[in-house]
Amino acid sequence: MNTNLKISNVTKIYPGCVANDDVSLEFNSGKIYALLGENGAGKSTLVKILSGVVIPDEGKIYLNKNILELNSPSDAKKNDIGMVFQHFNLFETLSVFENLIIDSDEQRENLKEKIDTIMKKYNFSVDLDVPVLNLSAGQKQKVEIIRCLIRSPKVLIMDEPTSVLTEQETSELFLSLKKFSEEGILIIYITHKLKEVMQLCDEVAVMRRGKLVSVSQINNENIESLANKMVGQDLKTIKKKKENTSSEQLIKITNLNFTSEDPFETNLVDINFSLNRGECLGIAGISGNGQSELFQVLSGEIISNKNSIEFNKNFIGNLNPQERREYLMAFSPEDRLEQAAIPQMAIFENVALNNFKSSNFFNNGLINESKIKEHSKKIISEFNVNTNNIDLKSQFLSGGNLQKLIIGRELITSPDLLICFNPTWGLDVGAINYIHETLIKINEQNKSIILISTDTDELLKLSDKISVIHRGKLSKIMNAEDVTSEKLGILMGGGN
Amino acid sequence: MIKIVKRDQPSKAIFFFTPVLAIFLTLIAGGIIFYILGFKPFEALKFFFIVPIADKYGFSELLLKATPLCLIAIGLSFCFKSNNWNIGAEGQLTFGAIVSGGVALLFYDQEGFFILPIVILAGAIGGMIYASIPAILKTYFNTNEILVSLMLVYVSKLILDYLVVGPWSNPEGFNFPETRQFSDSARLPLLFEGLRIHAGIFLALAAVVISWFVFYKTYLGFQMKVSGFSLKTAKYAGYKGKKMIILVFLISGACAGLAGVGEITGPIGQLHREVSPDYGFTAIIVAFLGRLHPVGIIFASLVVAITYLGAETAQIFMQIPKYTGQVFQGMILFFLLASDYLLFFKFKLIGSKK
């Protein structure tokens, strides 16, 4: 039987951002659909609407011409929409079988039979009696898929399913998905990986900044054309004026590796680069490709081999962030509220987090509050933080003001190198401009910047050199003038 | 119509008001319970909360009970403020009592000014050793400190049981489960003739002052505060988060150990099976009732100490079990948690619309 799923004029607005802007799409069974877009393009919101997790502000969903009321995930299940999320929703300590039957009200024996048939039919081999924590990521995903299949879904949605899989597991997954599709299950595949779209899908819908950009047959597309649509051609080409970049090397990274024990983190493989004074190195990439790990390794939150980082002719790979600050490095992490600042503490206390030696914030182990406050006032006026009350808890600053405070805190020591990670994420245009101007200014003062960002516009605007990180590997470093959005898109999607 | 709305920011006044509200609600609920049991509510509450501390002796008893509660709660506040859920203070108290008691027993037939300081120090070290177990397991093996610290309580009580029945039992004690009496040099001096209140109260007061100073005035306290709010931030600022965790456990263990010393070298004077009527658990309530603030903890320890005394009076005069004390402690915590709702929400009167 043919299944038809129709999304009609769906809009979802979050405070400060339109996640889905009048999106209409139609899917028919027998085909595999790709939903492609950068981070924050609105794919996840759309998928959450389809699975009942998020309720749209406007618009309707139709399944086989019938309107669907999706007010909760269980409504989606009732309507035969199955969903496999990027992060698994499994009980680690329960066995595979227990996980499979946990949300079902059918008889155990019936289920057992059903599961056996499914496993045989699709050639899945998972031991039903072992606890889930002993499974590999690929096997866990199979458990999630089986859990959907038990309900014989009409629609199966896969959200970035390959991000935790090995190559082998990925190709196994693709085989299964193709088989499901042949059996009449409508498959919607969410991804930002261009190669996978080309390999697997029949039709592709591209989203950018909440809007649906295009819907097309895969035969009419190639990796370049998709990259262009995904990243957008409306790229501003304003680059900062290059004057006198020196050729004096400031930082050199040699054979830096990081292996994580957490399967959701990315391993860094053989990172090598160097940067001169007064330059800005932009590191592009789709989030989750090792940016966070790279930031932590550079900032010293993750300690590495002493010789892997040479900064200003000192080897500092084994130093922690506070020690690195003494060598005039500064850091602005991605997460303003959970890492760069503590919302529950006052502004001046947040300033004290950057405790460089000459600050005298703490003398003989005692807090020197007047010194910290004096310093805080200076940051607030120099960096245009819109408040005059430094006793205010920092949670009452807007995102833009908080970011100015953080950048100000880091820059007031006039560091030689600022490492920032998504510095303008979630900010309004005014604050973005201010941060960009500040970054350009410090470059002009012959200070260097490493800018890790998922915003390609920002990277093209600010960087002198650009590299792309993909699966923990850095591409070769390119001069920003030679880089096009198309090229970036391909590299970000894992192409060459 | 009354509507519940979320507050823009938790109110500071409410923050200190809810403990008072909780105590008030506890009194009302207590009155109702007494009424159901067939007592006159006001009279019963008077027996419970006023009679026990109406005279000099009663007041001394109040301070005697408040001392360990305050001391332990101060230690726990270090843990709780930094999001480390040490709920095994009772075990740390017991182990501190075992170690200091062991040292005191070494000197049972000797006198000398040096004995008491050694005994006190031994108690603090004992508590620290015991608290270091959940701390190290948490930092290096990712175990849950709630489970480990709680279960170690029962281990320490069984060790104490074994010692007082077996190897350490008083050879002239007719097989009673208790040790010899400590020598006078190992006893904390009494403050007043005829009253049981002893010098241990100074330990508690010192802990209050020191904890206030460390938390609000030192770099160490600042680091603990930051680590408590966010380990990620602590890492980013370059603080040693793991060391911080172990440190707060050690402080809290030392305080609980000292409370143990206070009990055995104060009113008890020997080791026996029950060195503490669950002070270590009750102190958790004290710490939260006092808002984890040193001054708040002083008041909270006095309020909760009354429930111990009140329960005894009620047992004598009203023939109801002394476990009523625990009922009151439970109610205080219950109402405190419930009224904390007001921290984040407020009631708003709005006119009805047609």
Which residues on chain A place their C-beta less than 8 Å from a C-beta of chain B? Answer: 299-301, 320-325, 331, 333, 335, 338-342, 344-345, 349, 352-355, 362, 365-367, 393, 395-396
Work out the end-to-end distance of chain A between its first and last CA atoms, rounded to an integer number of angstroms. Answer: 41
Chain B residue numbers touching A396 (CB-CB < 8 A): 9
Residue B131 pLDDT > 50: yes
Segment A75-84 mean pLDDT: 88
Q: Which residues in B lie closer than 8 A to residue A367 (C-beta atoms)?
A: 216-219, 221-222
Six-digit token pair at B75? 């230690």
- Helices B200-217, B241-263: inter-axial angle, 10-degree rounding: 160
Q: Mapping DSSP to helix (H, G, I), strand (E, B) and coil, where does residue A341 land?
A: coil
Cα-based torsion angle of the residue sequence A212, A217, A219, A221 in order, rounded to the nearest 10 degrees: -10
- Report pLDDT for A236: 44
Name which of A92, A28, A446 is nearest A242 in CA terms.
A446
Q: Is the pLDDT of residue A266 over 90?
A: no
Statement: residue A428 has pLDDT above 80: no
For A262, the token pair is 């957490």
Task: Say if the Cβ atoms of A367 and B220 lie within 8 Å.
Answer: no
The amino acid present at A376, given as its one-letter code, is S
Q: Do B236 and A355 touch (CB under 8 A)?
A: no
**Å between B88 CA and nearest CA of chain A:** 26
Under the banding of pLDDT at 50, 70 and 90, the label for residue A300 is very high
**pLDDT tens digit sequence for B163-216:** 999 899 998 888 889 999 999 999 999 998 889 999 999 999 999 999 999 999
Cα–Cα distance between B101 and B169 in angstroms, integer?
12
In A341-391, at which residue ranges do the beta strands (DSSP E only) sit? 362-363, 366-367
Minimal Cβ distance to A353: which of B220, B221, B237: B237
CB contact under 8 A, B238 and A393: no
C-alpha–C-alpha distance, residues A240 and A460, integer Å? 10
Tokens, residue B297: 């903890």
Chain B environment of A395 (Cβ under 8 Å): 9
Chain A: residue nearest B228 by CA? Answer: A342
Q: Which of A338, A355, A365 sits opposite B237 (nearest CB)?
A: A355
- Give DSSP secondary structure letters for A214-256: EEEEGGG--HHHHHHHHH-S------PPP------EEEEEEEE
Other Cβ atoms within 10 Å of B154 Cβ, number = 13
User: What digits encode the pLDDT tens for the residues A107-144?
Assistant: 888 888 889 888 888 888 888 888 888 888 788 888 98
Identity of the residue in B221, B226, B238 whose CB atom sits nearest the CB atom of A321:
B238
Report the SS3 class of residue A436.
Answer: helix
Q: Is B113 on the interface with A (CB under 8 A)?
A: no
Residues of B in contact with A344 (CB under 8 A): 229
Q: Do A340 and B230 touch (CB under 8 A)?
A: no
Say which DSSP state A359 is in: G
pLDDT digits (tens, 9 = 90+) for B289-314: 998 999 999 999 999 999 999 988 88
Higher pLDDT, A51 or B123: B123
Which pLDDT does position A201 carry in this prediction? Answer: 92
pLDDT at position A231, please? 74
pLDDT at B116: 95
pLDDT value for A73: 84
Distance of alpha carbon A370 from alpha carbon A388, whole angstroms: 16
Contact A51, A88 (CB under 8 A): no
Q: Please name which of B278, B272, B265 lies closest in space to residue B163, comparing C-alpha atoms.
A: B272
Give residue A237's pLDDT: 42
Confidence of residue A1 (pLDDT cuts 50, 70, 90): low
Task: Give the per-residue pLDDT at B126.
Answer: 97
The neighbour count for residue B217, using CB atoms within 10 Å, is 14
Handedness of CA B305, B309, B312, B317 (dihedral sign): negative
For residue B237, list chain A residues with Cβ-Cβ distance below 8 A.
Answer: 321-322, 353-355
For chain B, the structural domain boundaries read 2-349
Residue type (1 letter), B302: L
pLDDT at A162: 80
Closest CA to A47 of A88, A90, A13, A81: A81
Which three-class secondary structure state does DSSP give residue B41?
helix
Beta-bridged to residue B178, according to DSSP, are: B272
Retrieve residue B281's tokens. Answer: 């658990």
**What's the mean pLDDT when you consider all of chain A?**
86
The burial of A236, by beta-carbon neighbours within 10 Å (0-12 exposed, 13-18 middle, 19 or more buried), is given as exposed
Residue A101 has pLDDT above 90, yes or no: no
CB B187 within 8 A of CB B108: no
- Predicted pLDDT of residue A429: 66
The pair of structure tokens assigned to A476 is 């070769």
Residue A40: is its pLDDT beyond 80? no
Contact between A339 and B233 using a beta-carbon 8 Å cutoff: yes
If you search the block for the tokens 């281990």, which residue do you land on? B155
Q: pLDDT-based confidence at B354, cuts 50/70/90? A: very low
Region A257-278: what's the mean pLDDT? 88
Largest CA distance in chain A: 77
- pLDDT above 90: residue B5: no
Cβ atoms A373, A381 nearer than 8 A: no
Helix orientation angle between B294-318 and B279-289, rounded to the nearest 10 degrees: 130
Considering Cα of A369, then A372, then A378, then A380, what sign does the dihedral take? negative
Q: Is the pLDDT of residue B147 over 90?
A: yes
Q: Specify the DSSP element, H or E, that contains B253.
A: helix B241-263
**According to the model, what pLDDT value does residue B36 have?**
92
pLDDT given for residue A240 in this prediction? 56
| pLDDT at residue B350 tops 70 | no
Q: Which of B243, B253, B244 is nearest to B125 (CA)?
A: B253
CATH topology for B2-349? ABC transporter involved in vitamin B12 uptake, BtuC (1.10.3470)
Q: What is the mean pLDDT of residues B31-57?
A: 89
Give A352→chain B minimum CA distance, Å.
9
Write down the pLDDT at residue A286.
82
Percentage with pLDDT > 70 across chain B: 97
Window 211-250 of B, Cβ < 8 Å to A? 216-222, 225-226, 229-230, 232-233, 235-239
Domains and CATH numbers, chain A: 4-231 (3.40.50.300), 249-492 (3.40.50.300)
pLDDT digits (tens, 9 = 90+) for B240-254: 888 899 999 999 999
Q: Does the structure show a pLDDT above 90 at A262?
A: no
Query: Which pLDDT belongs to residue A138?
Result: 81
CA neighbor of B252 nearest in space, from B50, B46, B91: B91
Alpha-carbon dihedral sign for residues B282, B287, B289, B294: positive
Residue B112, exposed/middle/buried by CB under 10 A (0-12, 13-18, 19+)?
Answer: exposed
| Residue-wise DSSP of A38-92 | -TTSSHHHHHHHHTTSS--SEEEEEETTEEE---SHHHHHHTTEEEE-SS----T
- Look at residue A264 and tell me whether its pLDDT is greater than 70: yes
What mean pLDDT is predicted for residues A52-59?
A: 88
How close B236 gets to chain A, by Cα (Å)? 6
Q: For chain A, give me the number of helices (H) and strands (E)?
A: 16, 23
Show residues of chain B in contact with A300, CB under 8 Å: 238
Q: Give the model's pLDDT for residue A15.
A: 64
Lowest mean pLDDT among A5-19, A449-463, B204-218, B258-272: A5-19
The CA distances from residue A257 to A251, A271, A329, B70, B144, in Å, are: 17, 7, 21, 50, 31
| pLDDT above 90 for A332 | yes
How big is the A-B interface in CB pairs under 8 Å?
Answer: 62
Give pLDDT, residue B287. 95
Task: Please tell me the least confidently modeled range out of A238-247, A348-357, A471-480.
Answer: A238-247
- A149 token code pair: 């299949």
A238 pLDDT above the threshold of 50: no
Instruction: Label residue B347 exposed, middle or buried (CB < 10 Å: 0-12, 13-18, 19+).
Output: exposed
Given an 8 Å threshold on Cβ–Cβ distance, is B222 in contact with A335? no
Picking from A302, A318, A320 by the largest number of B CB atoms within 10 A of its own CB, the best residue to mutate is: A320
Residue B226 is nearest to which of A324, A331, A353, comparing CB atoms? Answer: A353
Task: Give which of A231, A251, A221, A216 is closest to A330, Cα–Cα.
Answer: A251
Residues of A within 8 A of B236 (CB-CB) are: 299, 301, 321, 331, 333, 339-340, 353
pLDDT at A239 over 60: no
Chain A environment of B233 (Cβ under 8 Å): 338-342, 353
Q: Which residues of B touch A389 (CB under 8 A)?
A: none
Of B219, B232, B238, the CB nearest to A339: B232
The answer to whether B270 and B178 are in contact (CB under 8 A) is yes
Beta strands in chain B (DSSP E): 2-6, 345-349
Give the model confidence (pLDDT) of B64-123 as tens digits: 999 999 999 999 999 998 889 999 999 999 999 999 999 999 999 889 999 999 999 999
Positive or negative, the CA dihedral A242, A244, A247, A253 is: negative
Position B351 pLDDT exceeds 70:
no
pLDDT higher than 90, residue A85:
no
pLDDT of residue A235: 42
d(CA A474, CA A282): 11
> How far apart (Å, rounded) are the C-alpha atoms in residues B242 and B140?
9
CA distances from B121 to A320, B96, B206 (A): 35, 9, 15
Return the pLDDT at A241.
Answer: 55
